[in-house]
Amino acid sequence: MKILHIISQAPDFTGSGKFIQQIILKAGARGHENFLVAAVQPGCDIPCDLISSDHAVFVEFAGKDLDFPIPGMSDAMPYESTVFSKMSPKNLLAYQRVFKKKIQEALDRFHPDLIHSHHLWIVSALARQLAPDLPMVTTCHGTCLRQHIFCPGIGQEIRRSLQQIDRVMALSQSQKQEVVDLLGFGSVPDRVPVVTGGYDHTLFQNRAKPVNGVVELLYAGKLCRAKGVPWLLKSLEKISDMPFRLHLAGSGPGAEKAACMELAATLGSKAVCHGPLSHKDLAELMKACHLFVLPSFFEGVPLVLMEALACGCRLLSTDLPGVLDILSPADKRMVYFLDLPVLKNMDTPHEQDEEDLEDRLAMALKKIMEEILENPAPEVRTIEARTRPYTWEKVFDRIESIYLSLTTVEVSDEGER
């Protein structure tokens, strides 16, 4: 079939960007024809092997089409970005006008059988308005749900259009319930199938992990407060007598990244900052590390955890709903959870709880490092059992079945078109 893929961000750098890349590649491998509408700006190049230029239309930010940076689904992006809640009415109207023009161009040129958009937000609503009779699915990555809280006026304006999307694919059971509640799908919850995210099993693979006197720790993601990076760095300072080396892979917004870099500097040679890494380079780093740490206060379903586990890393993560959905229960050898404190808002702890969080994180890290020093070999059976359902092939099986159900079966659920 002919599939029009739409994302309002750069199709790279973030979880949703990696997701759409894999869906396009897997769809192409199975004989489907793809067309892409996406955002670009200087410094955000499209992977050269993703899609041909005659099957793509781009909205150029900070340049030709719009003079401001790409608005991000997260308020902290790994590249220069605009925050939706701070956009002027003029810029918001221009954003909608340009995306409508580009989506219409794609529809006229490609004549798709189905639309697959990403994020339950403005651009998905525009696509539904422009093509009300085409089968349409949208993947919710979690961050779009936050925008409905941060920008309730916009959310209310687009809610009706989002309700007309045929299927909203959630990444976890907990996220499904949020989508059902947001869109009022209580009477037809089957419109929100749980698909999950995936990982590239040909790239992320386990290999032997000798300790050689140093436990290699890894954090990969945005360098910002919402991901818990400052508290991770402060907790490691409390146990700096332990034989560890922390690898930081990723980037972040200016001031927050600078604050993380300043804290990392206090660890001296015990902290190595790699900057943004390609998937291939990240996989190599994961294969060399013993413990992956995700101290985040907010996530959808972080694919990076599955990638790290597949590379034989033990995992220490905050007990976020999306994380628990794919990794619960905890495992005595490979998977550990840290209780989140009560949060002031969606991704910020109360100041009085910060020191306790640092202390608990330090204690958990020390305990796991001691276990690694005693027995560094990962538990292979646990890795295989936990990761097998999350290869991109398995994930695309589930997505393709949804495509086929919408293009070959007449739907008649209450509330559907």
- Residue 345: predicted pLDDT: 76
pLDDT at residue 173 tops 80: yes
- Residue 163: predicted pLDDT: 97
Name the 3-class secondary structure at 70. coil
19 and 92 housed in the same domain: yes
- Residue 189: predicted pLDDT: 82
pLDDT per residue as tens digits for the range 184-222: 998 788 999 999 889 999 999 998 888 889 999 999 998
179 and 69 housed in the same domain: yes
181 and 222 housed in the same domain: no
Task: Write out the two tokens for 60.
Answer: 């150029």
289 and 329 housed in the same domain: yes
- Residue with the larger pLDDT of the pair 174 and 395: 395
83 φ, ψ (degrees, to nearest 5): -95, 125
- Residue 48: predicted pLDDT: 76
CA distance 196 to 7: 18
38 and 185 housed in the same domain: yes
210 within a domain of the structure (yes/no): no
268 and 155 housed in the same domain: no
Sign of the four-CA dihedral 142, 311, 367, 275:
negative
- Residue 92: predicted pLDDT: 98
pLDDT at residue 176 tops 70: yes
pLDDT per residue as tens digits for the range 325-360: 888 888 878 999 999 888 877 778 888 888 999 999
23: containing domain: 2-198+391-408
Whichever domain contains 117, its CATH number is 3.40.50.2000
pLDDT at residue 128 tops 90: yes
34 and 150 housed in the same domain: yes
**Average pLDDT value over all residues in the chain:** 92
CB 37 within 8 A of CB 98: no
pLDDT at residue 415 tops 70: no
Number of domains, the chain: 2
222 and 147 housed in the same domain: no
- Residue 133: predicted pLDDT: 96
pLDDT at residue 58 tops 70: yes
The helix/strand count (H/E) of the chain reads as 14, 14
231 within a domain of the structure (yes/no): yes
Q: What is the pTM of this model?
A: 0.84
297 and 171 housed in the same domain: no
Q: What mean pLDDT comes out for the span 45-51?
A: 83
CA distance 6 to 11: 9
Span of 118-127, 164-173, 338-347 with lowest mean pLDDT = 338-347
175 and 62 housed in the same domain: yes
75 and 153 housed in the same domain: yes
149 and 11 housed in the same domain: yes
Closest to 313 (Cα-Cα) out of 298, 327, 330, 292:
292
CB 57 within 8 A of CB 26: no
